[in-house]
Amino acid sequence: MTASGIILAVVFVSLLIVVHEGGHFLVARWCGMRVLRFSLGFGKPLVKWERGGTIYQIASVPLGGFVQIAGMNPHEEVDPEDPAIYPNRPAWQRMLTIAAGPVANYLCASILVFVYFMAFGMPTQFKPGIAMVVAKSAAAKAGVQERDLLVSIDGKAIAKADEVLPIVRASDGRPMVMVVKRAGQELTLTVTPEKQKVGYRIGVLPAEISTARRAAAFGESAWESVRYPAVQSVNMLGGLYLMIRGKIKAEVSGPVGIVKAVAQTTKSGAEEVLQIIATISIALGLFNLLPVPALDGGRLVFLGVEVVSRRRVRPTVEAAVHTVGFMLLLGLLVFVTFKDIQGCFPGK
């Protein structure tokens, strides 16, 4: 990774956070709510300025961001007759405001994919290949690289990406010969599967890799770019389901890991950067829609209960639930960030 790649990665990830929080901000303003603060990061402000009654700031801990809307904190002293505070707005406006962050990420991903289709064309041919190689895995040690096309494994020709896992699983850990095609040349590699809790694995994510493209019309690109976030969200949820069931190894990255992945991709050109930024934007939107306390999805659950029961959940109860959720998520974030930093120093 180069210094310029890391800087670009930090900028790209920060922009995705701004997009997410900007969605909340714009819809809150449109719904007549008073926004007190728009922050990129948490903790002590490094830079801040005020405009239109809102304080904009860049904070010292770059692990996300937030928009502070008047009245969202139940311990905040507010005028109950003030129409500009969050709890005094109709439920549908509050739901729109909360949902606007993930929607903004999906919209951002659609725009990036549209630019990708118009600039590089629509994929028309796919072949089984390697979408990701886990660091320090058996495949990484053998020299397997991302976007390698799969020819055969253990003497068996590969026609589809989903044929890889059964072959690896049946190896019982013995070394296997893997033939891949890279830059038009076939390479023969020897990889030794490693035994994990879920069976033998080599540390790759097989996928159908685009190998040919054609020029795309404006209308077709627009339609496919709108579909793309939905299709990818379904795939991500499927992967999450398999992860929960223990069918695949849990691989979770925090901000450091994400920046590292983007920084590595910057060496491959604009095409790869557009793809990974769109994917991260979709993942950010989907993650925030999960019905987990402290996330946008958790807040939407409480609003849904309010709409159905026509009774508002006690603010102190909701705040307590979100606080517990926030602390658990913060603990998870610290853990994965530590693992990400540890991964930056192999052998340490």
Catalytic residue set:
21
- State the CB neighbour count (10 A cutoff) for residue 120: 17
- State the CB neighbour count (10 A cutoff) for residue 46: 12
**What is the 8-class DSSP label of residue 259?**
H
- Per-position b or e across 311-347, b if 16+ CB within 10 A of its CB: eeeebeebeebbeeeeeebeeeeeebbeebeeeeeee
Write out the H or E segment, with its range, that includes residue 243: helix 218-244
**What is the 8-class DSSP label of residue 88?**
G
Q: Of 61, 37, 59, 69, nearest to 50 (Cα)?
A: 37
Sign of torsion over alpha carbons 154, 155, 159, 163: negative
Quote the CA–CA distance of 341 and 335 in Å, as a whole number: 10
Q: Of 33, 41, 36, nearest to 17 (Cα)?
A: 41
- State the CB neighbour count (10 A cutoff) for residue 288: 20
Which residue in this structure is represented by tokens 């950067």?
Answer: 273
Counting Cβ atoms within 10 Å, is residue 49 exposed (0-12), middle (13-18) or buried (19+)? exposed
